[in-house]
Each structure stands twice: as C-alpha cells, then as structure tokens.
Amino acid sequence: SPSTMVSIRQATVEDLIAMQQTNLWCLPENYNMKYYYYHILSWPQLLQVAEDHKGKVVGYVLAKMEDDEPEEPHGHITSLSVLRTHRKCGLATTLMTSSHRRMTETFNAEHSALHVRKSNHAAFHLYSQTLTYTIHDIEEGYYADGEDAYDMRKHFRKTASPEEAPPSAPPDAPSPQTSPPPPPPAPE
C-alpha cells in the first residue's frame, strides 16, 4: 500500500511549492505563495507534510494559531490535502494529529477550529467521526462560490503540566493540612 513508505515530518520552506501544487491539484480553495510563507514563518511547528520514499510530498496540513482574540489560544486548520493516489491510508488523520499535538505542546492551544464545505461528505466524516470535531456553527456563503461551511471545533483535554501539578510529598511525610487553622480566640 502507498502508506507503508510514507513519513510525516515538519514542513520546511523548500516544501512550500510542493504543498501549493498539491493544493492546486486537489482543492478548489487555493492560496498565493505569500500565504504559505506567512504560515511557515509564523507557526513553523504546525505545518506538516507526508512524503513518500522518494521524498515527494503527497500530502500536507497548513495550520496556524488564532491569537488575536480575547479567548483561549486556539489553532486553526487552514488547509489539508492528500493526493488521490495516497488516500484511504490514514495520512490525513496522521497529519492532523501531528498538527494538533504541536498546537497543544508548543502553543498550549485549548482547541482547534476549521471550516469544511457542507457538501464535502468525506472530509466531514474524517473531521467528525475520526478526529472528533463537532459543529460549532454554520457560516452561510463562506466559500467564494457561495457554499455554506460548517465551522467545526475540537477541544483538547488539558493535562496539568509538571509545574502546575501539586508537589508530591515523600511517603513518610505527614499529610498536608487541608483546612485552615482555627482563628485565635477573640479577646474578651
């Protein structure tokens, strides 16, 4: 199967042309090269590519952080694409999972958001069933051709980082006091 010889890695500037080419072949939403550069210069950790054993890019995920809002930091999947020859091998899931991991580890993202065409049943199934995104809203006329989009979100489970975790007491230490000491008696 095509996936047996495919590896996932962080994208480099040298990958951007191939990523754009994959996008042009596979998707109706296309971006100019400046937009790819904007992503890789701002959030290089979030851009992932799948490459075959010959070093050819066969899929990518283009993602960014949305940090201009007062809410929790969160990621946004700008674009995901896998060449037709390499579909149904789990590459899209692996690319997305890799980007999600970078969102949480590097940027402490609370969730990831994305838009998907209402008519794109395969992508909707991937996002909702495999990757556990849920519909947050419907954006009418989101796409250039007027088609509506599902605004979808995936919330990441927060795990306490080591510095936030309470220090563990040595086994022979007395248990810490759980309630405050009683106030001293009031003077009479």
Note the pLDDT of residue 37.
Answer: 87
Q: Is the pLDDT of residue 175 over 70?
A: no
Facing residues of 63 across strands? 77
User: How far is residue 79 from each of residues 29, 82, 97, 114, 182, measured CA to CA in Å?
Assistant: 8, 10, 14, 9, 59
Q: What is the pLDDT of residues 12-50, one digit of tens each?
A: 988 998 998 888 777 777 788 888 889 999 999 999 999
Taking the whole predicted model, whether its pTM rises above 0.95 is answered as no
Residues 45-101 have pLDDT tens digits of 999 999 999 999 999 999 999 977 667 899 999 999 999 889 888 999 999 999 999
Sequence-separated (6 or more) residues with CB below 8 Å from residue 170: none
Q: What is the pLDDT of residue 2?
A: 55
Closest by CA to 78, choosing from 16, 29, 132, is 29
pLDDT at 142 over 90: yes
